[in-house]
Amino acid sequence: MRFLYLSQGTPPAQDRSMNTPHDAPLYLRLAQHYLGAIESGALSPGDRMPSVRSLTRLHQVSLSTALQACRYLEEKGWLEARERSGYYVCRPRRLSLPPSSEPPVPARIDAAQFLGIHERVSDFLARCEQHSLRLNLAQAFGSPEAYPAAALKNAAVRALRLQPDILVEPTPWHGEPGFRSVLARRALESGMRLTADEVVVTHGCTEAMNLALRAVTQPGDTVAVESPCYFGLLQIVQSLGLRSIEIPTSPQHGMSVEALELALQTQPIRTVVVIPNFQNPLGSVMPDDRKAAIVALCAQYGVALIEDDTYAALGDDEQPLRALKSWDEGGGVIHCASLHKTLAPGMRLGWINGGRWHARIKMLKYAQSRPNDAFLQLTAREFIASAAFNRHLNRLRRLLREQRSAVAESIARHFPAGTRLSMPQGGMLLWVQLPKLRNPRAMFETALREGIRFAPGWIFTNSDRYDNYLRLNCGIPFTPEFEAAIRRLAQIVQEAQA
Amino acid sequence: MRFLYLSQGTPPAQDRSMNTPHDAPLYLRLAQHYLGAIESGALSPGDRMPSVRSLTRLHQVSLSTALQACRYLEEKGWLEARERSGYYVCRPRRLSLPPSSEPPVPARIDAAQFLGIHERVSDFLARCEQHSLRLNLAQAFGSPEAYPAAALKNAAVRALRLQPDILVEPTPWHGEPGFRSVLARRALESGMRLTADEVVVTHGCTEAMNLALRAVTQPGDTVAVESPCYFGLLQIVQSLGLRSIEIPTSPQHGMSVEALELALQTQPIRTVVVIPNFQNPLGSVMPDDRKAAIVALCAQYGVALIEDDTYAALGDDEQPLRALKSWDEGGGVIHCASLHKTLAPGMRLGWINGGRWHARIKMLKYAQSRPNDAFLQLTAREFIASAAFNRHLNRLRRLLREQRSAVAESIARHFPAGTRLSMPQGGMLLWVQLPKLRNPRAMFETALREGIRFAPGWIFTNSDRYDNYLRLNCGIPFTPEFEAAIRRLAQIVQEAQA
């Protein structure tokens, strides 16, 4: 987790420790030279930096010094590397924000927090439908341009050619075999060893989470969830007649394992649900040692650990993030994921690996909606099995990083003092902590009336502890309209300040 | 409901009251003449009957007499009319079977019948997976040839051309608007007046039934179901923690309204689930007066009435059958249906009209699996809105009638005395009552071992009252392999007789 520690109003030059003396290392002096060019406007955002090889010629430095200089500027956020095409000048990060508050370490877990999230989410959705929309920042997926529409269309046509009867044939039980194989193969990258038979295809991660919870709980049971918690999960929990208990979760390293242990000691918790990678809404990633610890803790207490691993492929770093499931030895972890964010928001393709509950989940899926249609699975398989999928993911990662960074900068520029933000290193969501507001719900209504929709903090909890937070989607291009919406939102927030 | 009343071994000539005296009406003598030709083999099954117009010329009779003769032979099952192409000779119904037993009228409803259907269905499915398959008669949909694969493929390609971003765009809430409009328009044919907004698209009728039950019940509640009852429903009921009570259901006219009233008086029933048209597995159709009565009864007792109306379009008669919903005045009926049987077994497209529970069902669908992928809805819309859909339905009806009749005849020919069968006038299912067996489950196992899979009676109940019943799928062509399987099944039954 990297933070933007610069305080508001501070120009970056004062922070960047680049006014280097002459005895500074050569690469620093070279970097300083080019930073000057950027600040003077000789190199503008979007310009291509001279290639590393040409730097060696121009400045009579070694290849490694030239490379070090570029990497330094990249690390500081002035340059970005684009695959096979060199370094480019970034938009300058003029302003930035302090990170979001860490949750307090609880002395005890409060069990008296079972309000009706279902009504909150329903109310939120109903209000959204009442107002015409200028800009939707409430979603959690990219805009169509972020996904490979043409290639998927071709894959669909190919699938129809390959299996012309696919729309009229019975759907294969538990999922299309080829698609399940590809998923099992890709699971290796997250550290899991699965066979195709252990994968059950579902209607998105949402159905997978429903099945997981139905498999391991009875109505009335208690589920430990993150706080803040993805509102879709709170809704599932309530719709199944379950109770949720919210475990403090850090914007830096995810669910507090210590707080969870306390909860397991004192509450009748039946299962724990976690988004270990790019948590929704925080964007936090659990470090590997905490992932291992939470798996061990749940095994020790004999409770099922359900992971929603939808965002793992969307890190700035190509390095795949490990799934909790990769530490699972006794089958106590249920792994759920989907292609909804990474490949195609129009294809509701998810899957579940049920661990010990695999057979029960298969039957529940059969009873709940029968096997998924084969056609979309075959279409996805055609695409995922090709090299085009990784190329698409690289492009999407870069796009999301750029858009996230542009939105964060705009927030830093326009939002009032007291606004805080921890910068995630992947995914498409920003979780913004606002200064104290007189009436957060009125602020949300005002924005909605102006056609600006965001996900308000209170739908991510059963309590009122996130009333002055909001979640923004950076999956859509940062257009002038987007910038204008942020500016207007900032005014609305300012007017609503306590 | 028309029965095959001829007892086994009786040649049709002795029954047909066609040995008409010379003073019989002219049309009867004309019919008799052609029946002779059929019996002698001069006209074989599949041959075209001389046209009505040529009959007038050949026999110097009026057009109305010629038509009356053809209709008489059609009514008796010797001829069949094919659209725009005249009459054809049918396969003769040499043998036939007494109708299935009517359920006894209960003095009281037995509430102590809550066995674990979930385990029964699971066990059935697991056993099926253990054996390699020669012929699958356990399903309830047609083979690929019965459906318009090529036209749907074209519709899919057209849909991709129409909306090239459809796979990467967010899925429209509650269903694709055009698809919902077409569904609302077609609902008129079943006597329902709906707007597109009142339709929620689901993953098949199975998800619709799940949502309906979740909307109107709490775990622990009691649901009145038909007996025999579609096993998928019993499985849903159990998986949701509900209890089912089985209401006697007639092979002729569906659920007994009298027995249901008794149950409503004596049991804490929360909702009633009915398949009014071509009940699965019976094939029964509720007459309109009983449909009206059951809607009124449920309204009177204030319980939700859920109808599964999946098969209505598959009657031998083109005349559409009315939905229970068409009698609903207070919003107490929830209507569920799908295209799975009528259009495309490979497309899991269902929908639900939730009556009073519409808003709750929308939220449950959102929480359970989010809106359906738009692509398949658009594909279906493209096809259903065209004249090709009605042409396909007519062809499918004819096909199912022919196949059902061929299977029934084969059963009549091969199965031992004591076998009974009520002949449905639509759909694809035959519910066969066998003579008393020593060990019905061993019989099922023997058939499975030989690769013949059917749906055994005991999965359609929580009791043991259908142990000597089986359900056969007539959606697949009656090939020599099919006939051989029926012959073998008959032997297995014979050997298992008590």
- List Cβ neighbours of A479 (8 Å cut-off, separation of 6 or more): none
Residue B428 · residue B140 · CB < 8 Å: yes
pLDDT value, residue A446: 95
Residue B348 · residue B340 · CB < 8 Å: yes
Answer whether residue B19 shows pLDDT above 90: no
Average pLDDT over residues A23-33: 85
Residues 255-274 of A with CB under 8 A from B: none
* A48-52, A475-479, B467-471: least confidently modelled range: A48-52
Q: Do the bridges between strand A269-274 and strand A222-227 make them parallel or antiparallel, or are there none, so unpaired?
A: parallel
CATH of residue A331's domain is 3.40.640.10
B361 and B404 fall within a common domain: no
Residue A370 placed within a domain = yes
Q: How many residues does chain B have?
A: 498
Q: What is the rounded CA–CA span in Å between residue B166 and residue B409?
A: 48
Q: Which residues of B touch A128 (CB under 8 A)?
A: none
pLDDT value, residue A96: 65
Categorize the per-residue pLDDT at B10 as very low, low, confident or very high, splitting at 50, 70 and 90. very low
Mutate to test the interface with B, among A123, A147, A340, A373 (most CBs of B within 10 A): A373
Q: Which residues of B touch A379 (CB under 8 A)?
A: 167
Residue A323 placed within a domain = yes
Q: Which residues of B touch A219 (CB under 8 A)?
A: 219, 241
B261 and B137 fall within a common domain: no
Average pLDDT over residues A202-209: 98
Residue B60 placed within a domain = yes
Q: What is the rounded CA–CA span in Å between residue B131 and residue B449?
A: 6
Judged by phi (left if over 0) then psi (alpha if -120 to 50, else beta), residue B15 lies in alpha
Q: Which residues of B touch A345 (CB under 8 A)?
A: 168-171
Mutate to test the interface with B, among A368, A379, A382 (most CBs of B within 10 A): A368
A17 and A36 fall within a common domain: yes
B199 and B305 fall within a common domain: yes
| B248 token code pair | 């006697």
- A4 and chain B in contact, CB less than 8 A: no
- Tell me what percent of the residues of chain A surpass a pLDDT of 90: 73
Q: Do the bridges between strand A254-255 and strand A333-338 make them parallel or antiparallel, or are there none, so unpaired?
A: unpaired
Max Cα–Cα distance, chain B, nearest Å: 75
Nearest-Cα distance to chain A for B264, in Å, is: 26
Answer whether residue B468 shows pLDDT above 60: yes
For residue B69, the tally of other CB atoms under 10 A from its CB is 28
Buried b (16+ CB within 10 A) or exposed e, A92-118: ebebbbbbbeebeeeeebeeebebebb
Q: Which residues of B touch A157 (CB under 8 A)?
A: 157, 160
Cα B143 to the chain's mean position, in Å? 15
Residues 99-138 of B with CB under 8 A from A: 118, 121-122, 125, 129
B136 and B168 fall within a common domain: no
Judged by phi (left if over 0) then psi (alpha if -120 to 50, else beta), residue A121 lies in alpha
Average pLDDT over residues A188-192: 93
Q: Which residue of A has its CA nearest to B141?
A: A170
Q: Which residues of A touch B374 (CB under 8 A)?
A: 346
Q: How far is CA A374 from CA A125, A169, A188, A202, A364, in A?
A: 31, 9, 24, 11, 19
Q: What is the rounded CA–CA span in Å between residue B265 and residue B297?
A: 11
Nearest-Cα distance to chain A for B460, in Å, is: 15
Q: How far is CA B477 from CA A128, A163, A283, B405, B486, in A?
A: 51, 21, 56, 11, 13
Do A370 and B206 lie within an 8 Å CB cutoff?
yes
Answer whether residue A25 shows pLDDT above 90: no
Do A348 and B373 lie within an 8 Å CB cutoff?
yes
Residue A162 · residue A311 · CB < 8 Å: no
pLDDT value, residue B129: 80
Q: Shortest CA distance to A176 belongs to which of A193, A153, A199?
A: A199
Residue A137 placed within a domain = yes
* A198-212, B9-23, B478-492: least confidently modelled range: B9-23
Do A160 and B156 lie within an 8 Å CB cutoff?
yes
Answer whether residue A66 shows pLDDT above 80: yes
Residue A372 placed within a domain = yes
Answer whether residue B97 shows pLDDT above 70: yes
Nearest-Cα distance to chain A for B304, in Å, is: 19
- B139 and chain A in contact, CB less than 8 A: yes
Residue B335 · residue B352 · CB < 8 Å: yes
Nearest-Cα distance to chain A for B396, in Å, is: 13
Residue B316 · residue B75 · CB < 8 Å: no
Average pLDDT over residues B102-112: 61
pLDDT value, residue B283: 97
Among residues A89, A105, A136, the one where a domain terminates is A89
Q: Which residues of B touch A120 (CB under 8 A)?
A: none
- List Cβ neighbours of A48 (8 Å cut-off, separation of 6 or more): A85, A86, A87, A88, A89
pLDDT value, residue A198: 96
Nearest-Cα distance to chain A for B436, in Å, is: 31
Nearest-Cα distance to chain A for B338, in Å, is: 12
* A243-257, A291-305, A413-427, B109-123: least confidently modelled range: B109-123
- B344 and chain A in contact, CB less than 8 A: yes
Do A207 and B241 lie within an 8 Å CB cutoff?
no
B42 and B180 fall within a common domain: no
The ipTM (two decimal places) reads: 0.82
* Total of domains in chain B: 3
Backbone angles phi, psi at B351, to 5 degrees: -155, 165
Q: Which residues of B touch A147 (CB under 8 A)?
A: 167-168
Q: Which residue of B has its CA nearest to A242?
A: B219
pLDDT value, residue A1: 24
Categorize the per-residue pLDDT at B106 as very low, low, confident or very high, splitting at 50, 70 and 90. low
CATH of residue B59's domain is 1.10.10.10
List the single residue in B150, B168, B214 with the smallest CB-CB distance to A345.
Answer: B168
Backbone angles phi, psi at A170, to 5 degrees: -60, 150
Do B348 and A369 lie within an 8 Å CB cutoff?
yes
- List Cβ neighbours of B469 (8 Å cut-off, separation of 6 or more): B228, B281, B431, B432, B433, B434, B456, B457, B460
Rg (C-alpha) for chain B, rounded Å, is: 24
Q: What is the rounded CA–CA span in Å between residue B463 and residue A479?
A: 65
Q: Which residues of A touch B214 (CB under 8 A)?
A: 239
Among residues A331, A361, A389, the one where a domain terminates is A389
Average pLDDT over residues A434-449: 94
Do B153 and A141 lie within an 8 Å CB cutoff?
no
- B375 and chain A in contact, CB less than 8 A: yes
Q: Which residues of A touch B157 (CB under 8 A)?
A: 157, 160
Q: What is the rounded CA–CA span in Å between residue B431 and residue B470?
A: 6
Do A374 and B346 lie within an 8 Å CB cutoff?
yes
Nearest-Cα distance to chain B for A125, in Å, is: 9
Residue B18 · residue B111 · CB < 8 Å: no
Q: State pLDDT tens for residues B347-371.
A: 999 999 999 999 899 999 999 999 9
Average pLDDT over residues B198-225: 97
What is the strand order of the sheet A254-255 is part of? A200-203, A349-353, A333-338, A304-308, A269-274, A222-227, A243-250, A254-255
Q: Which residues of A touch B201 (CB under 8 A)?
A: none
Among residues A321, A355, A389, the one where a domain terminates is A389
Answer whether residue B298 shows pLDDT above 80: yes
Average pLDDT over residues B237-259: 94
Three-state DSSP string of chain B: CCCCCCCCCCCHHHHCCCCCCCCCCHHHHHHHHHHHHHHHCCCCCCCECCCHHHHHHHHCCCHHHHHHHHHHHHHCCCEEEECCCEEEECCCCCCCCCCCCCCCCCCCCCCCCCCCHHHHHHHHHHHHHHCCCCEECCCCCCCHHHCCHHHHHHHHHHHHHHCCCCCCCCCCCCCCHHHHHHHHHHHHHHCCCCCHHHCEEEEHHHHHHHHHHHHHCCCCCEEEEEECCCHHHHHHHHHCCCEEEEEEEECCCEECHHHHHHHHHHCCEEEEEECCECCCCCCCECCHHHHHHHHHHHHHHCCEEEEECCCHHHECCCCCCCCHHHHCCCCCEEEEEECCCCCCCCCCEEEEECHHHHHHHHHHHHHHHCCCCHHHHHHHHHHHCCCHHHHHHHHHHHHHHHHHHHHHHHHHHHCCCCCEECCCCECCEEEEECCCECCHHHHHHHHHHCCEECEEHHHHCCCCCCCCEEEEECCCCCCHHHHHHHHHHHHHHHHHEC
Residues 190-249 of A with CB under 8 A from B: 202-204, 206-207, 210, 214, 218-219, 232, 235-236, 239, 241
pLDDT value, residue B92: 57
Do A148 and B170 lie within an 8 Å CB cutoff?
no
Q: How far is CA A201 from CA A363, A393, B139, in A?
A: 13, 21, 21
Do B203 and A370 lie within an 8 Å CB cutoff?
yes
Who wins on pLDDT, B339 or A19? B339
Do A367 and B219 lie within an 8 Å CB cutoff?
no
Q: Which residues of A touch B204 (CB under 8 A)?
A: 369-370
A402 and A377 fall within a common domain: no
Q: What is the rounded CA–CA span in Å between residue B242 and residue B237?
A: 5
Categorize the per-residue pLDDT at B14 as very low, low, confident or very high, splitting at 50, 70 and 90. very low
Cα A302 to the chain's mean position, in Å? 29
Q: Which residue has the tokens 């009073």?
A: B356
Residue A104 placed within a domain = no
Q: State pLDDT tens for residues A360-370.
A: 999 999 999 99
Q: What is the rounded CA–CA span in Å between residue A389 and residue A189?
A: 14
Nearest-Cα distance to chain B for A185, in Å, is: 24
Categorize the per-residue pLDDT at A58 as very low, low, confident or very high, splitting at 50, 70 and 90. confident
Judged by phi (left if over 0) then psi (alpha if -120 to 50, else beta), residue B33 lies in alpha
| Structural domain span for residue B184 | 148-387
Who wins on pLDDT, B129 or B445? B445
Q: State pLDDT tens for residues B69-81.
A: 998 888 877 888 8
- Tell me what percent of the residues of chain B surpass a pLDDT of 90: 73
Residue A1 placed within a domain = no
Residue B76 placed within a domain = yes
Do A346 and B375 lie within an 8 Å CB cutoff?
yes
Do A170 and B141 lie within an 8 Å CB cutoff?
yes
Q: How far is CA B101 from CA A37, A454, B411, B416, B437, in A?
A: 93, 62, 17, 17, 16
| B200 token code pair | 């929620």
Q: For chains A and B, count residue pairs whose Cβ atoms are closer than 8 Å.
A: 179
List the single residue in B146, B170, B202 with the smallest CB-CB distance to A345.
Answer: B170
A235 and A306 fall within a common domain: yes
List the single residue in B167, B219, B346 with the smallest CB-CB distance to A171.
Answer: B346
Answer whether residue A386 shows pLDDT above 70: yes
Torsion of CA B216, B220, B225, B230, to 10 degrees: 100
A208 and A233 fall within a common domain: yes
Q: What is the rounded CA–CA span in Å between residue B224 and residue B206?
A: 17
Mean pLDDT, rounded, of chain B: 89
Burial class (CB in 10 A: 0-12, 13-18, 19+), B316: middle
Average pLDDT over residues B387-402: 95
pLDDT value, residue A72: 87
- B347 and chain A in contact, CB less than 8 A: yes
Q: What is the rounded CA–CA span in Å between residue B450 and residue B134?
A: 8
| B73 token code pair | 């032979």
B140 and B152 fall within a common domain: no
CATH of residue B457's domain is 3.90.1150.10
Packing angle, helices A374-384 and A388-414, rounded to 10: 90
Answer whether residue B124 shows pLDDT above 50: yes
Categorize the per-residue pLDDT at A112 as very low, low, confident or very high, splitting at 50, 70 and 90. very low
- A171 and chain B in contact, CB less than 8 A: yes
A346 and A471 fall within a common domain: no
A443 and A304 fall within a common domain: no
Q: Which residues of B touch A150 (CB under 8 A)?
A: 164
Q: Which residue of B has its CA nearest to A231?
A: B367
Q: Do the bridges between strand B243-250 and strand B222-227 make them parallel or antiparallel, or are there none, so unpaired?
A: parallel
